[in-house]
Amino acid sequence: MKQFISVDDVPSVPRLVDIALDYKKQPFKDRTLGENKTLGMIFLNPSLRTRLSTQVAAKNLGMEVVVFNIDKEGWQLEMNDGAIMNGNTSEHVKEAAAVMGQYFDIMAIRTFPGLKDKESDYKEKYINQFIKYAGVPVVSLESATLHPLQSLTDVITIKEQWQQPRRPKVVMTWAPHVKPLPQAVPNSFAQWINGWGEADFVITHPEGYELDPKFTGNAQIEYDQDKALEGADFVYVKNWSSYKDYGKITCTDSSWMVTNDKLKGTNAAKIMHCLPVRRNVVIADEVLDGPNAIVIPEAANRVWAAQAVLSEILKGNIV
């Protein structure tokens, strides 16, 4: 792989999943692969799991890691070409990315959408500017519209938990939240489940919460949550703000919260969430504390996803 921004950068999802599961068994088997290589992790936004698991993954491969909260430890970047920089931005991404590309062998970047300008967010302007100027492989730690390390983890987790010959039914359900959140996780989950191709995939949400069809593809869209959840083997819960009425909260119906009652019709479905999750707003305590929640092993798998991605980039595999 030359970069890791989207499922489209991955020659074979099943193969990448297998590489990750191998690392889970033997975390240190490639301890010398990253020798004398440095991963630069650039944060324009906060992060917990991605920040920590990727550091652990890189060190498992013997890499050095440099973490840089550019917004707090540096200064604000200009992203617009041709700008007359007499305002709040101190450095253009042309210089910042190119310079960091001189220091690091791989650059990993987290940058959230503004949720104001749909076109700019969906062009992935920020991460694409980094890719354009970095001159080294770039790994997304979540970008405006996608979160591929999370989605790879999710596929790994489903594959690991599902031991039956038939295809699992995977349902992604919208759930309420108090703040307008990006569509990156649901877009990306849809993109990866489709790219993986080994599940029956249903998406359920209130009307007006339709995601960009270029990510949801042939997934079945079902507006009735109860109907969607029927017979589900995995329920992937996530809030997102409206794509149509961009960045807005257009539904506050708390009955979309995932409770045990809601899950009665499922096939004792495993409950997934990318975290952080607001308890008793998105998912009820009874579900998260119950026997079917797999959010912790799911989060634990973040290490192996990151390790698989970094190792493939280090190996320069472009298959």
CB of 34 to a copy of itself, least distance (A): 12
41 contributes a contact to a copy of itself by CB under 8 A: no
160 contributes a contact to a copy of itself by CB under 8 A: no
> Which residues have CB under 8 Å from 242's CB, separation 6+?
208, 209, 248, 249, 250
Among 295, 305, 310, 313, binds a copy of itself (CB under 8 A): 295
183 contributes a contact to a copy of itself by CB under 8 A: no
Q: Confirm if 136 and 307 have CB atoms less than 8 A apart.
A: no
- How far, in Å, CA of 205 to CA of 209, rounded? 6
- How far, in Å, CA of 36 to CA of 62, rounded? 8
180 contributes a contact to a copy of itself by CB under 8 A: no
85 contributes a contact to a copy of itself by CB under 8 A: yes
Nearer to a copy of itself, 110 or 159 (CB): 110
68 contributes a contact to a copy of itself by CB under 8 A: yes
275 contributes a contact to a copy of itself by CB under 8 A: yes
Name the phi and psi angles at 97, rounded to 5: -70, -45
> Which residues have CB under 8 Å from 254's CB, separation 6+?
176, 281
Cα separations (Å) of 44 from 8, 59, 168, 284? 24, 22, 37, 31
Among 149, 288, 308, 309, binds a copy of itself (CB under 8 A): 288
> Which residues have CB under 8 Å from 285's CB, separation 6+?
279
109 contributes a contact to a copy of itself by CB under 8 A: no
- Binding footprint of a copy of itself on the chain (CB under 8 A): 27-28, 36, 38, 40, 43, 46-49, 51-53, 55-56, 59, 64, 66, 68-70, 72-75, 78, 81-87, 89-92, 94-96, 98-100, 102-104, 178, 275-281, 285, 288-289, 295-297, 299-300, 303
Binding residues for carbamoyl phosphate: 47-50, 75, 110, 147-150, 274-275, 302
